[in-house]
Amino acid sequence: MQSSISEQSVILADTQQISSNLPDGDMVILNLKDGVYFGLNAVGARIWSLIQNPITVREILDILLAEYDVDRRQCQSDLLQLLRDLAKHGLVKVQITQQIVV
């Protein structure tokens, strides 16, 4: 499933976790299902805040590009990798959608 996350996918943070902001802007998340901690830097923490409500990967990407001075391809690559890691650890729900071309 992780490899099929695309810009059309809808992402939502799983409710079976606890997260806490750290003083330096980083964040730590505890997966309540398996007790594993997952750390995020400040940008990852921003993404985490965005996925508290259902949002597409494209919407996240657009927000990050507006807020940070980053190359689109690099941002997309890093974002998809983070979302795959979060999905692998059971921290997000991913709804795979298919783009319909007419």
18-75 per-position pLDDT tens digit: 999 999 989 999 999 888 899 999 999 999 999 999 999 999 999 999 999 999 999 9
Q: What is the DSSP code (8-state) at residue 3?
A: G
The distance between the two most distant Cα atoms of the chain, rounded to a whole number of Å, is 49
Report whether 68 contacts 44 (CB < 8 A): no
E strands, the chain, in order: 10-13, 17-21, 27-31, 37-40, 55-56, 92-95
Q: Supply the pTM of this predicted model.
A: 0.87
- Name the CATH architecture for the domain at 2-95: Alpha-Beta Complex (3.90)
For residue 1, the tally of other CB atoms under 10 A from its CB is: 10
Q: Where do the structural domains in the chain lie, given as residue ranges?
A: 2-95
96 falls in which pLDDT band (50, 70, 90)? confident
95 falls in which pLDDT band (50, 70, 90)? very high
Report whether 38 contacts 48 (CB < 8 A): no
Judge whether residue 11 has pLDDT over 70: yes
Residue type at position 25: G
